[in-house]
């Protein structure tokens, strides 16, 4: 008989074989055993309403029966081929129909890969070396993306600060950093530097919304200076709307990256652009010197493709995005009401489809202003939520379409407990 291992046992085993006892993604003190719908269970059997949802991919929830059926139908036909397959081609067609900037698609396995290739593609197309990114913007784990992602020290713009060891200075020299939501800063950099290939931006930077006119302003500045605009839609694609941020905000980039939802919970991501730009992946069209080599063992994997196709089919059904926004707004409102009742300063930041709280009395507009007045309050808040059955990231909450009324009621109760804990912390003597 197999011995049943407790969560403590698994954590001890993880310490032996995993640096920092984890995968590098999330709090290593919790080990998830299974998920179903809007719920997950840890290895001790504790049950939670899941607002992490795999960091975004499980928009339909865990184990959606139609997605499971599609995957189980594909499995006996083959799990991966390294060659073209019909389901991958169908998925590329569906993405191209949905996303305004995408005439052609190239698949990869992770969002970080997609962003890395998007940057390289912009350089190949323009022949220019520099990339402008926004402080605090997350674009994966490439050397370029690790510039000023979460800098612990403030420097003058546009200096780039590496957030990881092992990155050569030469990478920083080719990166320019600007504050998010500051068109004047971007305009100044574009006027000063004639060798910028692209601006890469999250249309919703983590959970910080773009100010009205900011994204269109980026589009106009790029057109004026002959610079490509890259939207990192790994998170926002098929979440803010079926056509992503491009549909939601009405601004079309030159290149975009997609991930998470398009794989239906399996490892799959993509980048897309016009046929003219994407021609750099075709040596026969652009020649050896302008060709961008790209391959990946699992790119366009058929199992991930059928999961993505079914997920996208479900999302096209009437009312899905209205319901997602209603759920998200309800979660926003119940948190704001509980905190307001106890006179706790806060800002709900983001979009109903993706948001969280900053414990502050100022509106976050960029990386430097997106701060809790007291970081301990956020820690208390999130600890109380988890203790009372809500599973989420410390800085982000993802609603899913799997949420039911019982999930919302459990969440409401957890929020009341969390607000009480924060209030007691504020009243405690120093």
Residues with catalytic roles: 138, 232, 260
Secondary structure (3-state) at 191:
helix
Q: What CA–CA distance (Å, rounded) separates 338 from 62?
A: 29
Q: What CA–CA distance (Å, rounded) separates 375 from 231?
A: 30
Taking each helix axis from N to C terminus, what angle separates 65-74 and 302-315, rounded to the nearest 10 degrees?
Answer: 150
Secondary structure (3-state) at 91:
helix
Q: What is the CA radius of gyration of the chain?
A: 22
* All residues at 6 or more sequence positions from 251 whose CB lies less than 8 Å from its CB, including other chains: 203, 215, 216, 218, 219, 245
Q: Which helix (H) or strand (E) holds 172?
A: helix 169-173
* All residues at 6 or more sequence positions from 27 whose CB lies less than 8 Å from its CB, including other chains: none
Alpha carbon of 122 to those of 79, 271, 367: distances in Å? 32, 12, 25
- Name the residue among 82, 155, 107, 308 with its Cα closest to residue 163: 155
- Name the residue among 141, 145, 121 with its Cα closest to residue 133: 145
Q: What CA–CA distance (Å, rounded) separates 96 from 115?
A: 18
Question: For 364, what's the count of Cα atoms within 13 Å in the CB-facing half-sphere?
Answer: 25
Q: Assess contact for 197 and 132: CB atoms under 8 A.
A: no
DSSP assignment string, 259-291: -GGGGTTSS-EEEEE-HHHHGGG-HHHH-GGG-
The sign one gets for the Cα dihedral 252, 257, 261, 263 is positive
């Amino acid at each position: 008989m197999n011995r049943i291992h407790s969560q403590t046992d698994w954590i001890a085993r993880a310490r032996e074989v995993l640096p920092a006892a984890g995968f590098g993604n999330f709090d290593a003190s919790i080990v998830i055993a299974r998920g179903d719908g809007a719920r997950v269970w840890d290895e001790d059997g504790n049950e939670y309403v899941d607002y992490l949802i795999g960091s975004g991919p499980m928009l339909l929830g865990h184990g959606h029966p139609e997605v499971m059926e599609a995957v189980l139908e594909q499995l006996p036909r083959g799990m991966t081929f390294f060659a073209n397959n019909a389901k991958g081609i169908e998925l590329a067609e569906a993405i191209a129909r949905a996303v305004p900037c995408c005439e052609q698609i190239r698949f990869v396995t992770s969002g970080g890969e997609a962003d890395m290739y998007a940057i390289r593609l912009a350089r190949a197309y323009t022949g220019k070396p520099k990339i402008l990114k926004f402080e605090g913007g997350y674009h994966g784990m490439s050397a370029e993306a690790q510039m000023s992602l979460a800098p612990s020290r403030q420097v003058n713009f546009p200096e780039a600060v590496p957030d990881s060891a092992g990155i050569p200075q030469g990478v920083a020299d080719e990166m320019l950093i600007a504050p998010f939501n500051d068109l004047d800063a971007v305009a100044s950099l574009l006027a000063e530097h004639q060798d910028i290939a692209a601006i890469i931006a999250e249309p919703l930077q983590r959970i910080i919304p773009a100010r009205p006119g900011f994204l269109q302003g980026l589009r106009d500045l790029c057109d004026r200076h002959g610079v490509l605009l890259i939207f990192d839609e790994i998170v926002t694609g098929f979440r803010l709307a079926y056509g992503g941020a491009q549909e939601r905000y009405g601004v079309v980039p030159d290149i975009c990256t997609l991930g998470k939802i398009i794989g239906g919970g399996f490892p799959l991501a993509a980048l897309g652009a016009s046929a003219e730009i994407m021609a750099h992946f075709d040596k026969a069209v652009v020649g050896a010197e302008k060709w961008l080599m790209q391959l990946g063992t699992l790119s366009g994997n058929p199992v991930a493709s059928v999961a993505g196709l079914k997920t996208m089919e479900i999302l096209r059904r009437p009312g899905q995005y209205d319901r997602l926004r209603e759920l998200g707004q309800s979660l926003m409102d119940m948190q704001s009401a509980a905190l307001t009742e106890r006179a706790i300063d806060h800002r709900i930041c983001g979009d109903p489809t993706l948001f969280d709280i900053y414990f502050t009395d100022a509106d976050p507009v960029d990386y430097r202003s997106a701060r809790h007045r007291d970081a301990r309050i956020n820690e208390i808040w999130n600890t109380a939520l988890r203790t009372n059955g809500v599973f989420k990231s410390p800085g982000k909450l993802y609603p899913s379409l799997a949420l039911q009324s019982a999930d919302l009621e459990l969440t409401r109760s957890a929020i009341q407990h969390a607000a009480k804990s924060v209030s007691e912390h504020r009243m405690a003597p120093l």
